[in-house]
Structure 1
Amino acid sequence: MTSRFYELRDDLYHPGRWHLRSPVDEHGQKINPWQFTEGRQLDPQGSIRFPVKPDGVELEFTQSSFSIPVLHRRVVQLFERLGIQDVQFLPAEVQGHAGPWFILNALRVIRCIDETRCREVRHFKPEDGQPERVGEYRVVSGLRIDPTKAGGARVFRPWGWRMVLLVSDDIKQALEREGITGPVFTEV
């Protein structure tokens, strides 16, 4: 079992990089972006497309608006060779860029945030006016997790702070070894 995990983000400072916007369907209608952070199997109806603005250099790992991970086929093939479980790859299109492209849908959400080691943690309270979110995280800075709670997971989202995608050390090393463009890692 690995004891090192990393937040996986895309390199916002990559020179001339593209920026993917919120997903839309084949008719240009917005698709609910939060469904890709819920940790459940999805069965999308129709195609998923990502507008690009500004256009620029493709990244093999990137995140659209709302932190949706979008991967080139090369990344999907690497995950398959590594035998990564608990993920779903949803076909997607990126405006003006040949693919194939995929959304990485992490299927596990794990209660693992180590609040005592984070720089700051605040929870939603009843007075915040969002009763459905009371007890969830409102702020997490300096994210740290308890790796013993990962239970062998290699790709997952932390419960209560699902916009973050976490990966194990072996995945980080494989992405670096393969020379995949776009990923940036922060140890958690």
Structure 2
Amino acid sequence: MTRYDKYYKINDNKYIPGRWHVRMPLHEETGGEGEDEWFDIWQFNEGRVLEIERPIRLPVKPAGVALEYTESMGIPVVHRRVVSLFERLGLQNEVQFIPVEVEGQTEPWFILNALRVIRCIDDARCEEVLYWLPEDNRPDKEGQYRNVRGLKVDPEKIGDAHIFRPWGWLVVLIVSEHVKSAMEAEGITGIKFLEV
């Protein structure tokens, strides 16, 4: 990979007619009493391997056309074809695939957990960058990004990564042009890319 490679924010394409909508991940209730529990989705933005001890269930409402790449509260949920593609691309060290049960589906589905966080946002090229300031009374966040519009990254800071989250703005998942091209060639459904 060279510093001239392009990078893309990968998104769930919300404008596919008749598509399904995957809801908030839940821990299955295992004791036979009570209801399923909400699942901590923020841990999937931390760039680390996770140990998940209880099954994760994903409700679907409304049901519709299942997409091979979709998002549940911003968390990527992928079909086994995406897992196979990433394995063929040799990206096993950059992602963790966590099995999930998707309502109404019998085939294997997974949460895609990106394992790298890279400090690569190019503040000068972004449309707008706001930081947490002392007057915001959030000392735990002071100096961190509060908002990023028109995200742009500095390719020279990315190195050999093909899939990652940008430090300070972890709500975004970024892939290299190599991964984008491979997903498009494979015909993975549900994806939309935006160059960053």
Please give the range of the TM-score, normalised by the shorter of the 2 chains. over 0.9
| Counterpart pick for 1:8 among 7, 10, 16 | 10
CA RMSD of aligned residues (A): 0.9
Please tell me whether Structure 1 or Structure 2 has the larger radius of gyration of its CA atoms. 2
The DSSP-based 3-state class of the residue aligned with 2:113 is strand
Q: Which residue of 1 aligns with 2:59?
A: 51
Q: Which moves more between the two structures, 53-62 or 125-134? A: 125-134
Is 2:174 the partner of 1:166?
Answer: yes
TM-score by length of 1: 0.97
CA distances 1:110-145 after superposition (whole Å, capped 9, x unpaired) = 000000000000011122232211111111010000
**1:34 partner amino acid:** W
Alignment partners' CA distance in 1, 2:138 and 2:100: 33
* Within-5 A mapping of 1:104-115: 104-115=112-123
Q: Which residue of 1 aligns with 2:125?
A: 117
Alignment partners' CA distance in 2, 1:58 and 1:130: 41
Deviation at 1:22, TM superposition (A): 1.3
Alignment partners' CA distance in 2, 1:24 and 1:68: 13
The DSSP-based 3-state class of the residue aligned with 1:35 is helix
Q: Which moves more between the two structures, 122-131 or 30-39? A: 122-131
Which consecutive residues of structure 2, in runs of 5 or more, have no partner in the other structure?
A: 30-35
Is 2:86 the partner of 1:79?
Answer: yes
The DSSP-based 3-state class of the residue aligned with 2:83 is helix
Alignment partners' CA distance in 2, 1:56 and 1:167: 27
Number of equivalences:
187
**2:22 partner amino acid:** L
CA distances 1:82-110 after superposition (whole Å, capped 9, x unpaired) = 00131100001111122200011000000
Alignment partners' CA distance in 2, 1:54 and 1:96: 11
The DSSP-based 3-state class of the residue aligned with 2:49 is coil
Is 2:30 the partner of 1:23?
Answer: no
Q: Which residue of 2 aligns with 1:130?
A: 138
* Within-5 A mapping of 1:90-105: 90-105=98-113
The DSSP-based 3-state class of the residue aligned with 1:116 is helix
Q: Which residue of 1 aligns with 2:97?
A: 89
**2:23 partner amino acid:** R
Q: Which runs of 4+ in 1 moved over 2 A?
A: none
* Within-5 A mapping of 1:65-76: 65=73, 67-76=74-83
